[in-house]
Amino acid sequence: MKRYAQTLQVRSYELDAQGHVNYAVYLNYCEYSRVTTMDQLGIPFQQFFNRGVYIVIAEARIKYILPAFLGDELEITLEGIKEGRTSIVFRQEIYNKKNGRKIFEAEMVAVFINEKGRPIPLDPKFRDAFFE
């Protein structure tokens, strides 16, 4: 398994009334990590979309561990942990780079579907990027 990481800084508009990152924003961070990693690996999300292939998140199991605040620098990791014929399970974790503490973890099930919404086999290049 290969592990990839992206870094970003918490922005003011991502905060809730208590001054920490809103719970829903963590899913945006995970999406940013997946799409950016795909771009860097030469398998951009748009390439699949243009072919009528969609990679959809069908399930998410998430755990919030610690809050993040304005200006925190975060590292979002991504690794494939299980593959199926039409799906892949990703582990994603978010760390506060200042202190190295894990603040969030998730397992995401991504499924490849066609334009009719039917599952289709994993793209071989996509699969190799995470399991080669």
pLDDT digits (tens, 9 = 90+) for 69-119: 999 999 999 999 999 999 999 999 999 999 999 999 999 999 999 999 999
Residues 6+ apart with CB under 8 A from 19: 69, 70
102-113, strands of its sheet edge to edge: 3-9, 73-83, 87-96, 102-113, 54-64
Residue whose C-alpha is closest to residue 74's, from 53, 100, 95: 95
* Residue 88 in tokens: 């892949």
Q: Which amino acid is at 124?
A: P
* Helices and strands (H, E) in the chain, number of each type: 3, 5
pLDDT band at 53 (very low <50, low <70, confident <90, very high): very high
Which CATH class, in words, describes the domain spanning 3-131? alpha beta
User: Residue 37 class from Cβ within 10 Å (0-12 exposed, 13-18 middle, 19+ buried)?
Assistant: buried
Per-residue confidence (pLDDT) for residue 132, from 0 to 100: 74
